[in-house]
Amino acid sequence: WYLDSFCDMRSFPKVKDTNDEKEFTQMIKAIKVRHNNVVPMMALGVQRLKKGMDLKIVCEKLDEIHQFLDRLYMSRLGSRMLIGQHVELHNPNPPHCVGCIHTKMSPVEVARNASEDAREMCLREYGSSPDVNIYGDPTFTIPYVPAHLQLMVFELVRNSLRAMQEHYMDSDKVAPLVRIIVADGIEDVTIKVSDEGGGIPRSGLPNILTYLYSTAQNPLDEHTDLGTSEAVTMAGYRYGIPISRLYAWYFGGDLQIISMEGYG
């Protein structure tokens, strides 16, 4: 895929007029679609690596594999951001939007949409879902890429909901709320997602941000169809947390997991 895309870019003639530029835009748009399923394809590769190798060897090479995947996915994120920005500038932009960037994005509104999507997924999988409460000023806005924030909040809320459902599965108690707090600071905007899903043991915390670890069953198998015709979300492939951190890093932010074992 990457070789094909590189050849397409290198062989494209020099852009001399607006018609050439339109053709260039169509070409890079096709490249973006071609790479829709890089993440699940790589996830399948890592899964096969774990199956085919001694677990001790895989664990010894964990840092090397993790650093390679971090570089690959960060590079991919940058490429897709640039292509997406170029393509979107050709489309009629809604108010306050410059390409992919929303100059007046409401973090509270994006968090609400992301948590609703996560609750719908939880309802489909478990038949019920804890409520999500959001605390913050909905009129507060920042310039950001809404799709990036949507992905990060969705993944964190999805993890919280799954932990809550499994923690309270055999309990008579009703699962409590997931809480999202949007804090507007002088230097930073902080979004905190908290739950009471039992937390993660301290020994397991370093693994949460790696690509070779999961507490959930991986839906990928040897026969998974990973054609480029339909995008597959990485959230479904247990890569959501480490990739969400890359999205945060991309614009100078960070993602931190703080656990209280036995609580949430």
* Ordered structural domains, the chain, with CATH: 1-93 (1.20.140.20), 98-250 (3.30.565.10)
pLDDT, tens digit, for every residue of 125-148?
888 899 999 999 999 999 999 999
pLDDT, tens digit, for every residue of 41-93?
888 888 887 777 776 666 666 788 889 999 999 999 999 999 999 999 998 87
SS3 180: strand
Q: What is the DSSP letter of 171?
A: -
DSSP readout, 189-227?
EEEEEE--S----GGGHHHHTSSS--SS-----TT----
Q: Which residues are CB-neighbours of 166 under 8 A, at least 6 positions away?
A: 197
Q: What is the pTM of this model?
A: 0.85
In 3D space, the residue among 81, 98, 80 whose CA is nearest the CA of residue 89 turns out to be: 98
* Tokens (6 digits) for 246: 């890359």
SS3 132: strand
The pLDDT assigned to 2 comes to 94
Long-range contact pairs involving 203-211 (C-beta distance under 8 Å, separation at least 24): 205/257, 205/259, 208/241, 208/257, 209/241, 209/242, 209/245, 209/257, 210/62, 210/66, 210/242, 211/43, 211/46, 211/65, 211/66, 211/69, 211/239, 211/242
